[in-house]
């Protein structure tokens, strides 16, 4: 594994940084810094999405034939690192990283021609209808029912924890079309227009005070069979393929930004005139976290090398998901420690983009608590970390 950047990689890195200097406005950066959840709110992320689309850079992971960048693994890594280091708004993964790759693999020519350009242009905004009350880790037990009726399916049931369903105009959804055989065999993958009559989206406000997730109800919702991806009853295969994309990704660059932010916060705090950054116990915790971060970076490089040699990431995506989210949580805890009693005031209004309210405590402390609270979900969503460990136990350790 050679981690040295080639002259061509360095030139590419300069091009990316120059682009960010001119197109990533202070307003976009400020909005991203106020983001406390996995990805930025619709207004912010779609603006950055369209800027990247205009440049042809919105889909680094797509093959060039579908409008992707055609970049090498190293170029993608450089780009992701530059986005994290420069506080670029995080884009929604639902269309670009989940539905898009699934359509490329399983979609009909008509579905590809219609949906893929719309995902690239940011015309469609997708949400993921997998989980149900009682069906999360045990996803194959899902009960949202689709009954065949002529050229349509008629859907009844509910989906829960549906991120950004209140912004989305489309949902990719798993429904039950058959109850007779093994649970996995009766599942079908559908694309649903969220404006179809009979769909109701109800907000779930998180403990951080944010509206990010929802419960979605279906009452006799008619979905054309032309919107089915793959064969009826083959949805489990499609769903599993999509999860590989959901769980992959690079964490180290964003973790490094979070670590620097904790360091900066710790400089300003402490008792008896001494900064927390000088406290030996706190310094030891920061050092231990940085060592883990370095290990994570090397692991990401190792996986990147395997990918660029055409290998499949396999259970590595589970490993990255588990370690990356645990480190997010660890840094959240250290951030909380660093701001001390400034963790107490609830300042949800002050952290809305464009808010002009006085802030209690240092400005950088504003998002520490909501981010800490939001990060509790990181080891649950995308398949809980216990489930990721089960996958590693089976595929890596052969248990
Ligand atoms: C913020 C957030 C956003 C989300 N967004 C979406 C979304 O957009 N779309 C969507 O479809 N879903 C979404 N989810 C749902 C998410 O995928 C599920 O919450 C997750 O899969 C866990 O399922 P569950 O909540 O039903 O918990 P359960 O499956 O009931 O698990 C409860 C606990 O038991 C443990 N457990 C369960 N089974 C096992 C096992 N076999 N071995 C060991 N431990 C086990 C779990 O790890 C967990 O700790 C989101 C969740 C959150 C928190």
Best of 134, 381, 389 for a ligand 1 pocket test (most atoms within 8 Å of beta carbon): 381
3-state secondary structure of 271: coil
pTM strictly above 0.75: yes
Domain presence at residue 100: no
Q: Which residues contact 291 (CB under 8 A, 6 or more apart)?
A: none
From residue 224, how far is each of 146, 227, 259, 302 by CA, in Å?
A: 11, 6, 48, 44
Q: Which residues contact 381 (CB under 8 A, 6 or more apart)?
A: 38, 161, 163
CA of 206, closest atom in ligand 1: 1
Q: Which residues contact 329 (CB under 8 A, 6 or more apart)?
A: 375, 376, 378, 379
Nearest Cα residue to atom 40 of ligand 1: 387
CA of 212, closest atom in ligand 1: 1
Nearest Cα residue to atom 2 of ligand 1: 381
Domain presence at residue 62: yes
Domain presence at residue 108: no
Rounded to whole angstroms, the Cα distance separating 347 from 38 reads 19
Please tell me if the CB atom of residue 390 comes closer than 6 angstroms to any atom of ligand 1: yes
Query: Dihedrals φ, ψ of 158, to 5°?
Result: -150, 155
Same domain, 364 and 229: no
Please tell me if the CB atom of residue 386 comes closer than 6 angstroms to any atom of ligand 1: yes
Rounded to whole angstroms, the Cα distance separating 164 from 203 reads 10
Q: Which residues of the chain fall below pLDDT 50?
A: none
Q: What is the pLDDT, as a whole number, of residue 356?
A: 84
Same domain, 214 and 305: no
Beta-sheet strands, E only, within 187-302: 187-193, 199-205, 211-224, 228-229
Q: What is the pLDDT, as a whole number, of residue 269?
A: 60
Q: pLDDT by residue (tens digit) across 95-135?
A: 999 999 999 999 999 999 999 999 999 999 999 999 999 99
Same domain, 164 and 263: no
Best of 384, 388, 391, 393 for a ligand 1 pocket test (most atoms within 8 Å of beta carbon): 384
Rounded to whole angstroms, the Cα distance separating 369 from 335 reads 8
Residue 173 is part of which domain span?
A: 126-242
Same domain, 164 and 231: yes
Same domain, 238 and 160: yes
Rounded to whole angstroms, the Cα distance separating 334 from 337 reads 5
Kindly report the number of other CB atoms within 10 A of residue 363's CB atom: 10
Query: Dihedrals φ, ψ of 146, to 5°?
Result: -125, 115
Same domain, 37 and 156: no
Same domain, 391 and 253: yes
Please tell me if the CB atom of residue 98 comes closer than 6 angstroms to any atom of ligand 1: no
Q: What is the pLDDT, as a whole number, of residue 212?
A: 94
Same domain, 263 and 328: yes
- Phi-psi bin for 133: left (phi > 0), alpha (psi -120 to 50), beta? beta
Rounded to whole angstroms, the Cα distance separating 337 from 263 reads 11
Domain presence at residue 118: no
Please tell me if the CB atom of residue 366 comes closer than 6 angstroms to any atom of ligand 1: no
Rounded to whole angstroms, the Cα distance separating 131 from 144 reads 10
Q: What is the pLDDT, as a whole number, of residue 268?
A: 79
Choice among 132, 212, 246, 337 that is catalytic: 246
Rounded to whole angstroms, the Cα distance separating 336 from 233 reads 47
Q: What is the pLDDT, as a whole number, of residue 368?
A: 94
Task: Please tell me what DSSP assigns to residue 206.
Answer: -
Q: How many domains does the chain have?
A: 3
Same domain, 71 and 27: yes
Q: pLDDT by residue (tens digit) across 324-374?
A: 999 999 999 999 999 988 999 888 888 887 788 888 888 888 999 999 999
Q: End of a domain among 91, 111, 134?
A: 91
Please tell me if the CB atom of residue 162 comes closer than 6 angstroms to any atom of ligand 1: yes
Q: What is the pLDDT, as a whole number, of residue 249?
A: 64
Which residue's entry shows tokens 């996958």? 391
Please tell me if the CB atom of residue 136 comes closer than 6 angstroms to any atom of ligand 1: yes
Read off the tokens for 357. 């309210």
Same domain, 51 and 164: no
Q: Is there a catalytic annotation at residue 18? A: no
Same domain, 35 and 86: yes
Rounded to whole angstroms, the Cα distance separating 265 from 32 reads 18
Please tell me if the CB atom of residue 381 comes closer than 6 angstroms to any atom of ligand 1: yes
Best of 35, 39, 92, 137 for a ligand 1 pocket test (most atoms within 8 Å of beta carbon): 137
Q: End of a domain among 192, 215, 242?
A: 242
Nearest Cα residue to 381 out of 163, 96, 133:
163
Domain presence at residue 147: yes
Which residue's entry shows tokens 């039950």? 176
Q: What is the pLDDT, as a whole number, of residue 178?
A: 96
- Convert 156-198 into a string of H (helix), E (strand) and C (coil): EEEEECCCCCCCCCEEEEEEECCCCCCHHHHEEEEEEECCCCC
Domain presence at residue 106: no
Q: End of a domain among 242, 272, 299?
A: 242
Rounded to whole angstroms, the Cα distance separating 367 from 369 reads 6
CATH code of the domain containing 238 = 2.40.110.10
Please tell me if the CB atom of residue 141 comes closer than 6 angstroms to any atom of ligand 1: no
- β-bridge pairing 170-176 and 126-129: parallel
To 10 degrees, the CA torsion angle through 42, 316, 394, 327? -70
Using a 10 angstrom Cβ sphere, with 0-12 exposed, 13-18 middle and 19 or more buried, the burial of residue 67 is middle
Rounded to whole angstroms, the Cα distance separating 76 from 218 reads 39
Expressed in angstroms and rounded, the spacing between residue 94 Cα and the centre of ligand 1 is 17
Rounded to a whole number of angstroms, the distance between the first and last alpha carbons of the chain is 29
Domain presence at residue 107: no
CA of 383, closest atom in ligand 1: 21
Same domain, 258 and 379: yes
Q: What is the pLDDT, as a whole number, of residue 304?
A: 75
Rounded to whole angstroms, the Cα distance separating 68 from 263 reads 37
CATH code of the domain containing 257 = 1.20.140.10
Domain presence at residue 189: yes
Please tell me if the CB atom of residue 370 comes closer than 6 angstroms to any atom of ligand 1: no
Kindly report the number of other CB atoms within 10 A of residue 397's CB atom: 9
Q: What is the pLDDT, as a whole number, of residue 318?
A: 86
């Amino acid at each position: 594994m050679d981690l040295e950047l080639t002259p061509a990689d360095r030139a590419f890195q300069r091009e990316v940084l120059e682009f960010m200097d001119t197109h990533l406005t202070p307003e976009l950066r400020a909005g991203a810094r106020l983001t406390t959840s996995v990805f930025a709110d619709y207004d912010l992320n779609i603006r950055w999405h369209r800027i990247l689309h205009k440049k042809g850079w919105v889909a680094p992971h797509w093959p060039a034939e579908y409008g992707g960048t055609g970049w090498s693994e190293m170029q993608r890594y450089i780009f992701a690192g530059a986005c994290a280091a420069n506080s670029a708004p995080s884009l929604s993964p639902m269309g670009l990283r989940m539905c898009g790759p699934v359509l490329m693999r399983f979609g009909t020519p008509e579905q590809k021609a219609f949906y893929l350009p719309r995902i690239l242009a940011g015309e469609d905004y997708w949400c993921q209808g997998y989980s149900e009350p009682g069906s999360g880790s045990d996803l194959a037990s899902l009960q949202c029912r689709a009954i065949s009726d002529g050229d349509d399916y008629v859907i009844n049931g509910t989906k829960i924890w549906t991120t950004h369903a209140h912004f989305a105009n489309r949902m990719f959804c798993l429904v039950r079309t058959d109850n007779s055989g093994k649970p996995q065999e009766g599942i079908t993958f559908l694309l649903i227009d969220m404006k179809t009559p009979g769909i109701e989206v109800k907000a779930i406000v998180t403990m951080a005070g944010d509206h990010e997730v929802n419960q979605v109800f279906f009452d006799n919702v008619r979905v054309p069979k032309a919107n089915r991806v793959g064969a009826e009853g083959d949805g489990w295969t499609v769903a599993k393929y999509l999860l590989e994309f959901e769980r992959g990704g690079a964490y180290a660059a964003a973790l490094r930004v979070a670590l620097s932010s904790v360091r900066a916060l710790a400089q300003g705090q402490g008792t008896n005139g001494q900064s927390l950054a000088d406290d030996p116990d706190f310094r030891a915790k920061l050092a231990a976290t940085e060592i883990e971060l370095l290990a994570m970076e090397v692991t990401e490089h190792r996986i990147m090398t395997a990918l660029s040699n055409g290998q499949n990431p396999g259970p590595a995506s589970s490993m990255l998901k588990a370690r990356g989210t645990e480190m997010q949580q660890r840094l959240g805890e250290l951030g909380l420690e660093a701001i001390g009693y400034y963790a107490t005031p609830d300042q949800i209004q002050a952290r809305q983009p464009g808010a002009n309210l006085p802030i209690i405590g240092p400005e950088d402390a504003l998002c520490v608590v909501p981010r800490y609270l939001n990060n509790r979900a990181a080891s649950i969503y995308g398949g809980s970390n216990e489930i990721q460990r089960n996958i590693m136990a089976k595929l890596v350790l052969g248990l």
